[in-house]
């Protein structure tokens, strides 16, 4: 890994997107990552950034970790994401009765790559308003079997009785149970969770509908 080249590629993306190094590092949840890389380059060090950090920076810089690392592939990455079903924010969604085709509802093309095993759902209901509107798309990370790993986070959740919700997860009063909280509706108490996936980003309804219309 040539740190000079890596830094040069990062700086070119910052300039193209009008982002500061501090802002990009914060959005990637890697505070001071780019500043530390600059210091490493200036100090002649051989190590100044990890592949994990580049993978976190890549979506923020709307490119790929491979391009940042080695200049491989297109500088501006695009990636399709398939909306695989609906998620209830107030409404109870029973996946078995959704009548969703095997290939999902539809596909949206993003201007940046997503982490492997990401999934997307269409929001239905208004219990999470004003954070989410019905019709928004939520893109989630890899579903986790152990909801304790993301307790305290907003997540797509499938409960043990087969219902699917968009809620904030809290640990319940009894081990192995959880409370599901909304912004403007009563919480659902003491439920079992089959899987939960942390929310990575939100696509407002108007944005993704406009993107589909121009394809």
What domains can be seen in the chain, in order of their start residue? 3-70 (1.10.260.40), 79-213 (2.10.109.10)
The predicted model scores a pTM of 0.56
For the stretch 110-140, pLDDT in tens is 766 677 678 888 888 776 666 778 788 888 8
Give the three-state DSSP class for 77: coil
> In which element (H, E) is residue 122 found?
strand 119-124
Element (H, E) at 197: strand 193-203
Condensed to tens digits (0 to 9), the pLDDT of residues 54-108 reads: 888 888 888 888 888 888 776 666 667 778 878 776 655 555 545 565 667 777 7
């Amino acid at each position: 890994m040539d740190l000079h080249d890596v830094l040069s590629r990062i700086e070119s993306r910052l300039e193209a997107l009008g982002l500061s190094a501090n802002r990009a590092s914060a959005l990637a949840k890697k505070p001071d990552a780019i500043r530390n890389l600059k210091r490493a380059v200036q100090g002649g060090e051989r190590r100044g950034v990890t592949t994990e950090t580049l993978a976190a920076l890549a979506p923020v810089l709307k490119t790929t970790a491979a391009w940042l690392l080695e200049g491989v592939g297109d500088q501006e990455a695009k990636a399709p994401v398939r909306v695989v079903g609906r998620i209830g924010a107030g409404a109870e969604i029973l996946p078995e009765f959704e009548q969703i085709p095997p290939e999902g509802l539809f596909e949206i093309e993003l201007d940046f790559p997503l982490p492997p095993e990401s999934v997307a759902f269409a929001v239905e209901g208004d219990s999470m308003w004003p954070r989410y509107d019905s019709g928004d798309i939520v893109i989630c990370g890899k579903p986790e079997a152990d909801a304790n790993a993301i307790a305290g986070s907003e997540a797509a959740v499938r409960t043990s009785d087969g219902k699917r919700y968009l809620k904030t997860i809290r640990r319940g009063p009894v081990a192995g149970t959880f409370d599901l909280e909304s912004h403007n509706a009563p919480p659902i108490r003491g439920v079992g969770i089959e899987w939960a996936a942390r929310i990575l980003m939100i696509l407002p309804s108007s944005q993704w509908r406009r993107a589909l219309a121009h394809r």
